[in-house]
């Protein structure tokens, strides 16, 4: 479910509208009669996985009437109608670019996530996102990832422990880092870069390991050595072209920042018709 009620999301919509409208939509107010009524139809112009269409109701408020034809997570073909909005022509024209920016961007994320998920079908491996998101839009982009069928990793630095190489250095080693997180009451994952670090992590009770920047062959070898003693996540250099090879190593998870930082906005049209 693409829930847009969270205060962060509502604030993102307010900021987007304020950024675009500023002191007023001068073109619309000069060109369009105040009494004019219209219907705007949002249509997919390419195959896509939809995300963020629920935001239309946050942008087009009363007296506009929003009719969502499709919902986030649905796969659309070219020409399929996404939503229709009826109301004052001025309101539709003023909100048009903001809703398109949101829905095109978020559907791009969902479409890419869906492609990654399809690429690993049948392997038992799950695709995860990362914190490599657009500043201020993380919650929306993670909802879009989920709409595409992938899973969300931690939301931020506060809801899970992820001990990476720099943390290990700063803590004084693998053992020291793990010992200090035992009573955190949060999920704990640790990155290991060498077999020595791997052995130490397993010896001190690590249950979730991150293997970064290995080749598929190297990852397969490491996972065979781990032999189910911990869950394994692979990251680093993951692309749509190689993710299948990594998934077939036996990894439990593959995380990719590309889902959010490299997703291309999809082509969606918003066409206005006067009543």
Active-site entry in 164, 175, 220, 231: 164
DSSP-assigned letter for residue 93: H
Is 218 in the active site?
no
Which candidate in 25, 191, 200, 252 is catalytic? 191
The pair of structure tokens assigned to 262 is 């490299």
Q: Does 164 participate in catalysis according to the annotation?
A: yes
Catalytic, 25? Answer no
d(CA 192, CA 24): 54
Structure tokens at 178: 């793990």
Choose, from 41, 132, 193, 231, the residue flagged as catalytic: 132
105 CA to centre of own chain: 10
Residue 196 tokens read as: 């020595």
Token reading at 232? 């394994």
Catalytic residue, chosen from 45, 69, 97, 175, is 97
Q: Which one from 212, 221, 248, 267 is the annotated catalytic residue?
A: 212
193 is catalytic: no
Whether 132 is catalytic: yes
Give me 163's structure tokens. Answer: 């001990």
Task: Please tell me the number of Cα atoms within 13 Å of 38 on its side-chain side.
Answer: 20
The residue ranges of DSSP E strands in the chain, in sequence order, are 37-44, 48-49, 65-68, 75-76, 81-88, 126-128, 161-163, 188-192, 208-212, 231-235, 253-255, 268-274
- Name the residues annotated as catalytic: 97, 132, 164, 191, 212
């Amino acid at each position: 479910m693409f829930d847009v009620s969270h205060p962060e999301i509502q604030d993102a919509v307010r900021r987007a509208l304020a950024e675009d409208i500023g002191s007023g939509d001068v073109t619309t107010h000069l060109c369009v009669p105040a009494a004019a009524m219209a219907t705007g139809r949002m249509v997919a112009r390419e195959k896509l996985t939809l995300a963020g269409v629920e935001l239309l109701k946050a942008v087009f408020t009363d007296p506009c009437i929003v009719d969502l034809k499709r919902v986030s997570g649905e796969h659309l073909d070219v020409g399929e109608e996404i939503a229709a909005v009826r109301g004052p022509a001025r309101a539709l024209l003023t909100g048009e670019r903001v809703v398109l920016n949101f829905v095109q961007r978020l559907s791009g994320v969902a479409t890419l996530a869906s492609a990654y998920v399809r690429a690993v079908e049948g392997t038992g491996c799950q695709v995860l996102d990362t914190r490599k998101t657009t500043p201020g839009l993380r919650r929306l982009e993670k909802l879009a990832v989920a709409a595409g069928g992938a899973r969300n990793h931690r939301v931020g630095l506060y809801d899970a422990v992820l001990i990476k190489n720099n943390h290990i250095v700063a803590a004084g080693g693998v053992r020291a880092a793990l010992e200090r997180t035992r009573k955190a009451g949060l999920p704990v994952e640790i990155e290991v870069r060498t077999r020595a670090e791997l052995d130490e992590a397993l010896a001190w009770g690590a249950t979730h390991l991150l293997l970064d920047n290995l080749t598929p062959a190297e990852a397969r070898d490491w996972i065979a050595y781990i032999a189910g003693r911990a869950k394994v996540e692979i990251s680093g250099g993951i692309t749509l072209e190689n993710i299948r090879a990594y998934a077939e190593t036996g990894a439990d998870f593959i995380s990719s920042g590309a889902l959010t930082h490299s997703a291309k906005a999809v082509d969606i049209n918003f066409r206005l018709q006067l009543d």
